[in-house]
Amino acid sequence: MDIWLINHYAVPPKYYPLARQTCFARYLMAMGHTVTIFAASTVHNSNMNLITDGAPWRDEVVDGVHYVYIRCMDYQGNGLKRIYNICEFAWKLPGVCRKFPRPDAIVATSMPPTSCAMGIHLARKYGCRGVAEIADLWPESIVAYGIAGPRNPAVLALRRLEKWIYEKADDVVFTCEGGYDYIVEQGWEGRIPRAKIHYINNGVDLAVFDENRARYTVQDPDLEDPSVFKVVYTGSIRKVNHLGLLLDAAKEVTDPRVKFLIWGDGDQRAALEQRVREEEISNVVFKGKVEKKYIPSIVSRADINLIHGGDQGKELFRFGISPNKMFDCFAAGRPILMDVPAKYNPVEQFQAGICLSSVSEIPAAIRQIQVLSPQAYESLCGNARKAAARFDFRVLTQELMEILEKRG
């Protein structure tokens, strides 16, 4: 099959670390299929634009994967320029797609819903299979994060577009297991049958993870100190991550062997580091940002890997949870501590750690893991690797392929 993957943000991982479409492409190609990824030329959360010469589009092959970049306006943050950028990609997409042979299947991703809708429109135009991949619930996320109310005209317009996508796509893939719960909650089950809704969570390329763990080792005195009980967080340090709550929890941990080791960067890092100094929080260490290839080395040497969130947007977790870092934590084969209450939670489903209802429960949970017997601790480790095997992209790609080959 000739397969198009349309995802606004799916530039090569060397530019932006979210590699879902790239992983799908590699394994689809290994099955003998031809794959093209269409993405915007702008690299999210950066000043980089992959087209600087005024060309309307360009393509390149990176590590064997064919990417097509559509030139879009630069933007920073979430203002009007980003909205324009999102719309620009969708309206320019058909003109660029005409340059390429008709595909057999299109997988179009939302967020944003505009490019997802355009991908489904193109599938109908070309008479090929069209699969909508819902990686972020829009406009539900806008409401959950308090950006706009449920009766806001923009929200209502996006809701109509969202419903159109679900109705017109041949199949719909949600990254959260409760996708059909959402459809029922909206009252759309009469027009959108359960049979066309599928679940393929985010995942981890285990072969790449294990290779990177062996090849790219972080030299760090805390990771290498056997006397330190290492609670590791990796990820962005931004307001939405609420790491200030993690500092509050760390202050309640009295065991001097426990250290919270934080890898990542963001606009809140300087303020949090200042707070650590002023309040003399001696068990928290900010390690800075590292390349994605070093993450396996870090999380595999943790005693506990922490998946931490905040209160904002937590209403969305009733449909499931799919943070990319969770799958790296599974692959690490170490117990997971998750303070993000969620339905359809793989950490609970695989018994790979402890799930908390509040960040304030972290100190007691750390102690609970510290006193586990070696056999009980190793059981959590083994369950984490079992979860990683379930969400290995080799497995997830086969599930996607079964949807693309579905008939009727």
* pLDDT, tens digit (0-9, with 9 covering 90-100), for 371-401: 999 999 999 999 999 999 999 999 999 999 9
How far apart are the C-alpha atoms of 41 and 26, rounded to whole Å?
Answer: 21
- The pLDDT-based confidence of 144 (bands split at 50, 70, 90) is confident
Q: What pTM was computed for the model?
A: 0.94
Q: What would the pLDDT profile of 159-186 be if each residue is shown by its tens digit?
A: 999 999 999 999 999 999 999 999 999 9
- The per-residue pLDDT for 408 is 55
- The per-residue pLDDT for 47 is 92
- The per-residue pLDDT for 263 is 97
- The pLDDT-based confidence of 312 (bands split at 50, 70, 90) is low
pLDDT of residue 311 exceeding 70, the answer is: no
- The pLDDT-based confidence of 239 (bands split at 50, 70, 90) is confident
> How far, in Å, are 8, 200, 392, 396 from residue 37 at the CA level?
10, 19, 20, 18
- The pLDDT-based confidence of 295 (bands split at 50, 70, 90) is very high
Sign of CA dihedral 327, 329, 330, 332: positive
- The per-residue pLDDT for 315 is 79
What is the phi/psi pair of residue 44, to 5°?
-60, 145
- The per-residue pLDDT for 241 is 85
Locus of tokens 């090929």? 128
Locus of tokens 């999380």? 299
Percent of the chain topping pLDDT 90: 87
Residue 327 in contact with residue 391, Cβ under 8 Å?
yes
What is the phi/psi pair of residue 110, to 5°?
-120, 120
Q: Flag the least confident range among 8-12, 53-57, 110-114, 403-407.
A: 403-407
pLDDT, the chain, mean: 95
Average pLDDT over residues 348-359: 95
Q: Are strands 353-355 and 2-6 parallel, antiparallel or unpaired?
A: unpaired
ω into 112 cis (within 30 of 0) = yes
How far apart are the C-alpha atoms of 118 and 129, rounded to whole Å?
Answer: 14
First to last CA, the chain: 18
- The per-residue pLDDT for 278 is 97
pLDDT of residue 102 exceeding 90, the answer is: yes
Contacts of the segment 315-318: beta carbons below 8 A, 24+ positions apart: 315/144, 316/137, 316/140, 316/141, 316/144, 317/341, 317/342, 317/343, 318/178, 318/181, 318/342, 318/343
Residue 131 in contact with residue 169, Cβ under 8 Å?
yes
What 3-state DSSP class applies to 87?
Answer: helix
- The pLDDT-based confidence of 319 (bands split at 50, 70, 90) is very high
Average pLDDT over residues 314-338: 93
What 3-state DSSP class applies to 314?
Answer: helix
- The per-residue pLDDT for 142 is 86
> How far, in Å, are 253, 307, 370 from residue 248 at the CA level?
9, 16, 20
- The pLDDT-based confidence of 145 (bands split at 50, 70, 90) is confident
pLDDT of residue 42 exceeding 80, the answer is: yes
Q: Are strands 57-62 and 65-70 parallel, antiparallel or unpaired?
A: antiparallel
